[in-house]
Structure 1
Amino acid sequence: MPSPRDRQARIATFVVYAVQGLSFATLLTQVASIQNKHRLSDLALTILLLIVPVFAGVGSVSAGAFAARLGSKLLLRIAQPLVAAAVVLAGLAPNVPLLVPALLLFGLAVGGVDAGMNMQGVAVERRYGRPVLNGFHCLWSVLSLVGALWASAVGKDLPLAVVMAVPMVFAVAGSLYAGPKLCTIEEEKAETVEAATGRFPWGPIIPLCLAMGFLYIGDSSVSNFSTVFMDKIMHANDNVIPLAFAAYQATTLVVRLGGDVAVRRYGPAAIVRIGGAIATLGFLGVVLAPTQPLAIISFGLTGVGLSVVAPQSFSAAGRLDPAGTGVAIARVNLFNYVGFIVGAALIGPIADASGYRVAFAAPLVLAGAIIVLARGFEPAVKVSRA
């Protein structure tokens, strides 16, 4: 039975996820405006944007070492306000030389927060004794949508710096509220496990890392190229083109709303296996779709399937690290950014060479591989430390 302290930590963790979703969306929705402000070519913009996932990977790995010694609570209290500051600085930057360090800071800090918030989520899940991670990721999606709607509503009426700064006022306020209430380093550890020594082995988490990477290759493919696919392949008009990505985001949100209940009933491995199968079917539908409605439905199916993988990856990593050091979670989180980079770099060249239908066959195959990797989400034996 959760204690009042457990419930307090859970509410604080909800806030941390919400702040991260809002912060990420506030920057992501202004990429076109930043490009126009600085008169960047598509190539220059792509190179600049790669700063974020590359340095986020560095931030995630560093977060694992930091949290193992000092806990993810302190990590989040430092890194999350830095994310908000970086978003504001990116909006204020008058030129590219000042934009670059803002993006670098954003990447490092967002990688630390991504790892830290999932460490907190796993700690809360461990203390509750039942799956709760999908709920946290669901709120991330909700606040991402709020950030996008804010940008859509005021983007043409307010200066870029104001559009990006206003949500960050709420982000900092949320971070300051949640920080003191998060799980301490002692509360992150299982009561029956003493502090671990030595290095955490890579072997048991490789299936989780691969599943996370394959998930984000698919996510990156949909996020970056679904609108291009609808335009160039399906010849949709301007009102229909965004519906493919909207379907993907909507189904992701809906599935995460009920994801924890499904995991409690069927188990994480079964849910990941089913998710991989549905995502594979979705990408197959994209490759073969003869009409615009079927293409939109297919993109929605990819959201249904892929949405369950990340929460269960972090949850499984937490089970493999019962001492609560956070190292396993930080390593799994690293493949979030690996997948994003590979997805962005994979689809474009294949599409240039063979067309977008063939390009979307790549995430189709990798989604199918998630089905095979699902057994790694329910380890049969406890893992000893190296």
Structure 2
Amino acid sequence: MPSPRDRQTRAATYVVYGVQGLSFATLLIQVASLQSKHGLSEGAITVLLLIVPVFAGVGSIAAGALAARLGSKALLRVAQPVVAVCVAAAGAAPDVPLLIPALLVFGLAVGAVDAGMNMQGVAVERRYGMEVLNGFHCVWSVLGAAGALWASAAAGLPLQVVMAAPMVLAVAGSLYAGPRLCTADEEKAGTTAAESPSGGLPWRPIIPLCLAMAFLYVGDAAVSNFNSVYMRDVVEASAHVIPLAYFAYQAATLAVRLGGDLAVRRYGPAAIVRIGGALATLGFLGVVLAPNQPLAVVAFGLTGVGLSVVAPQSFSAAGRLDPAGTGVAIARVNLFNYVGFVVGAALVGGLGEAAGMRLAFGAPLLLAAAIIVLAPGFQPRRAAAPA
């Protein structure tokens, strides 16, 4: 039976995930607007977008080291408000020289938050003794979809207002949740010294999770960074219609994650990831072939259905491989989030400039299919002996 403290930490973790979803969506849904505001080419916006995942990877690595010593709570209390401030600063930046440092600091902070919030999620899952991580990612999707709807409704307002207004809520949410998260001792509760990976966690059982995470985020980078460019240039959508593609992606992600924990408990993580890879492949095929705006929006939604299950199961599986709760396995898997985002932004952006956005989405189509092959690596197993 969960204790009041268990319920408090779970509620706070929901807030942290929600704030991150809102912050991330508020920035990425405005890629086309930032491109137009600063007169950037496809190549230039791709280079700028690479700043975020590169520095997020650095932030994730640092988060793993710091969380092992201080716990992820201290990390999140500092990094998450910084993310919100940087989103507002990116919208207000009058020129590229001021936009770049806002994106750089955003990347560092968002990497730390991504790693830290999943450490908190796995800690809560361990305390409850059952799968709950899909629920946290579900809240991420709810607030991401809310950010997309806000962007659509507020399309006529100045960009700095559209991006700053949601960040007021983001700062308030992070300040509320921070003191209520699991402490460093609580993150490691229930473990013993014998479980501590004194020789270091082995890489081999983590590699399928890392690859699946990378392939997932190639697809996610394609959708998050270029859905607005695709909708504007390929199917010629208006400013009010463009955000609906990302809304469909996030809404579909939400719908799947609402029942994700129950599905995993019934069918197992490997089966769920295999089905997700197949549906994501069909979704990207739809994006490549979509002849009009409605079908393009539906196709983006189908990619969300498929990709939505991969990240929660990657982090949950990584947590099972690190029973001492050090956060090392989670930080490693999270790093490949940004590997995928870097590759996705560069690959899809480069192909988009060379051959058009429609063909560019063929790259994540192929990698989504590869997730199907990696699914057996998600099957629960006992943690391997230290290497």
Q: TM-score, normalised by structure 2?
A: 0.89
Question: Counterpart amino acid of 1:45?
Answer: I
State the SS of the aligned residue for 1:2: coil
Partner of residue 385, structure 1: 386
Structure 1, unaligned runs of 5 or more: none
Change in CA separation of 1:347 and 1:382 when aligned onto 2, cut-off 3 Å? same
Question: Counterpart amino acid of 1:330?
Answer: A
Change in CA separation of 1:355 and 1:164 when aligned onto 2, cut-off 3 Å? closer
Please, which moves more after superposition, 272-281 or 110-119?
Answer: 272-281
Report the Cα distance in structure 2 between the residues aligned to 1:35 and 1:287, rounded to whole angstroms: 23
Partner of residue 364, structure 1: 365
Partner of residue 3, structure 1: 3
Q: Percent identity?
A: 75
Retained in 2: the 8 A contact 1:190–1:322?
Answer: no
Report the Cα distance in structure 2 between the residues aligned to 1:283 and 1:178, rounded to whole angstroms: 36
Retained in 1: the 8 A contact 2:319–2:330?
Answer: yes
User: 1:326: Cα distance to partner?
Assistant: 0.8
Partner of residue 147, structure 2: 147
Report the Cα distance in structure 1 between the residues aligned to 2:164 and 2:242, rounded to whole angstroms: 29
Q: What are the equivalent positions in structure 2 for 1:1-386 lying under 5 Å apart?
A: 1-157=1-157, 159-194=158-193, 195-226=196-227, 235=235, 238=238, 244-287=245-288, 295-350=296-351, 358-386=359-387
Change in CA separation of 1:305 and 1:15 when aligned onto 2, cut-off 3 Å? same
Structure 2, unaligned runs of 5 or more: none
Report the Cα distance in structure 2 between the residues aligned to 1:354 and 1:107, rounded to whole angstroms: 29
Aligned positions, number: 384
Change in CA separation of 1:356 and 1:20 when aligned onto 2, cut-off 3 Å? closer
Deviations 1:233-291 (A, max 9, x none): 6x565477665544333211111111111111111111111111222233344445577
Change in CA separation of 1:132 and 1:94 when aligned onto 2, cut-off 3 Å? same
Report the Cα distance in structure 1 between the residues aligned to 2:247 and 2:226, rounded to whole angstroms: 13
State the SS of the aligned residue for 2:383: coil
User: 1:167: Cα distance to partner?
Assistant: 2.4
Change in CA separation of 1:104 and 1:244 when aligned onto 2, cut-off 3 Å? closer
User: 1:55: Cα distance to partner?
Assistant: 0.3
Report the Cα distance in structure 2 between the residues aligned to 1:231 and 1:210, rounded to whole angstroms: 31
Q: CA RMSD in A?
A: 2.6
Question: Counterpart amino acid of 2:275?
Answer: I
Question: Counterpart amino acid of 2:132?
Answer: V
Retained in 1: the 8 A contact 2:29–2:225?
Answer: no
Change in CA separation of 1:295 and 1:100 when aligned onto 2, cut-off 3 Å? closer
Please, which moves more after superposition, 159-168 or 43-52?
Answer: 159-168
Change in CA separation of 1:299 and 1:146 when aligned onto 2, cut-off 3 Å? closer
Report the Cα distance in structure 1 between the residues aligned to 2:236 and 2:52, rounded to whole angstroms: 31
Change in CA separation of 1:52 and 1:290 when aligned onto 2, cut-off 3 Å? closer
Question: Counterpart amino acid of 2:51?
Answer: I
Q: TM-score, normalised by structure 1?
A: 0.90
